[in-house]
Amino acid sequence: MKHTAQDILNYVEDNDVKFVRLAFCDIFGNQKNISVYSSELPRVFEYGICFDGSSIAGFMNTEESDLILWPDPDTMTILPWRPAEGRVMRMYCDITLPDGKPFEGNCRGYLQSVAKRIQAKGLSCTVGCECEFYLFETDEHGNPTRIPMDHGGYFDMAPLDKGENIRREICFAMEDMGLQPQHSHHESGHGQNEIDFLYSAPLRTADNVNTLKSTIKAIAGSNGLFASFMPKPLADQAGSGMHVNLSLTRDGRNLFAGDIAPDSEAGHFIAGILAHARELTAFCNPVPNSYNRFGSCEAPRYISWSRQNRSQLVRLPSASGEFCRLELRSPDPACNPYLVIGLILAAGLDGIERELPLPAPVNRNLFHKDAAAGLESLPRTLREAITVAAQSDFIARELPLAVMNKYFEYQTQLCIASETAHDPAAWEREHCFLVL
């Protein structure tokens, strides 16, 4: 059951809520927020809250800067790590222009529009994201270091795994906030962890990704640690991915269950994702560091699919019933989940609409030398990814020109700064490690 504005006002009055955080993302996925006193909430629901869009990366120009935040009551949650007295509530927001027209940089709105297109086809879609992250020690001043909190590996236990108690605390907080934790474990890298939550509708899952990231950051900080979602924070350790799992149903039947014929609806959907994989990369892997992850430690480099095989870009995990799905393994946690999930779904829809045939599966370990002969590669650098995406008719149809231009302009600046930095390691620490 969806919450209404009145539901939220009643809850605030009955539960000692004093502050309300209104949260949103810029077009690059960086989370932003403004706090209002709870007594202001009736006005916010009625009139929205105006803010300076020119100060948000990729949004507005100074001469036309006003934008309006509109909280979505259905995203209400209490932040459990804040004091129990004078509680803090958070809601995600949509964004409009002052005249009420949709703001084209509202990536949450873009994902909503793609979800409606899915529904118009008579399809139902659920999405789940597997978000990996690292936990690092901090120095005597509380500043992050590059020293991982432990030297554990995949599925290790204590004493090698020192993150068990923190993951437990994060899972409890997630549960308090309405997310349903499914799995938590130590990942392959030293200090690397993963916590997964139950799949949901596309928009809710994108919201939940941001909730998960902010929760991990907050609880890591309260434990004297620093959580990093940088794709490749340690050169000699595994990179962090954000695998996107999608399932499609029609009339209650999971389209990814059983054998998938090349000319089936599921086959067309997968073919669409493969056909647009290179164009999607600038969004799935948005920073220069993203490309250090590809081609090793189960991070794909080539455009192919198979069942189970973790060296593939797209795989169909061994599952049954409602859990049958495809898994896209290229995205990393630096991405904007609203844009990425929306574009992946749009690519699949394009495959269905154009009836693209599914190529034959590739049942080879693509991490072995020469195993990828004849396969097309994902872009090798962010510069290459930008070029491919900027020339894409598909991306041009999906995203407003202004959003594309601002997105690629910002990414190009990142490339130039990274390439010309006097101390590349120091630049990466300041502009990637400390930010993500």
Write the CATH number for 126: 3.30.590.10
In a domain, 87, yes or no: yes
92 shares its domain with 214: no
In a domain, 22, yes or no: yes
In a domain, 108, yes or no: no
In a domain, 416, yes or no: yes
Three-class HEC string of the chain: CCCCHHHHHHHHHHCCEEEEEEEEECCCCCEEEEEEEHHHHHHHHHHCEEEEHHHCCCCCECCECEEEEEECHHHCEECCCCCCCCEEEEEEEEEECCCCCECCCCHHHHHHHHHHHHHHCCCEEEEEEEEEEEEEEECCCCCEEEEECCCCCCCCCCCCCCCHHHHHHHHHHHHHCCCCEEEEEECCCCCEEEEEECCECHHHHHHHHHHHHHHHHHHHHHCCEEEECCCCCCCCCCCCCEEEEEEEEECCEECCCCCCCCCCHHHHHHHHHHHCHHHHHHHHCCCHHHHHCCCCCCCCCECCEEECCCCCCEEECCCCHHHCCEEECCCCCCCCHHHHHHHHHHHHHHHHHHCCCCCCCCCCCCCCCCCCCCCCECCCCHHHHHHHHHCCHHHHHHCCHHHHHHHHHHHHHHHHHHHHCCCHHHHHHHHHHCCC
321 shares its domain with 263: yes
Q: 102, 123, 147: which is the final residue of a domain?
A: 102
Indicate the average pLDDT of the chain.
Answer: 94
pLDDT digits 0-9 by tens, 299-339: 899 999 998 778 899 999 887 777 889 999 999 999 999 99
43 shares its domain with 127: no
181 shares its domain with 87: no
In a domain, 269, yes or no: yes
Domain containing residue 84? 5-102
The CATH number for 71's domain is 3.10.20.70
97 shares its domain with 122: no
With a cut of 80, say whether residue 62 has pLDDT above it: no
pLDDT band at 178 (very low <50, low <70, confident <90, very high): very high
With a cut of 80, say whether residue 260 has pLDDT above it: yes
pLDDT digits 0-9 by tens, 202-230: 999 999 999 999 999 999 999 999 999 99
Q: Into how many domains does the chain fold? A: 2
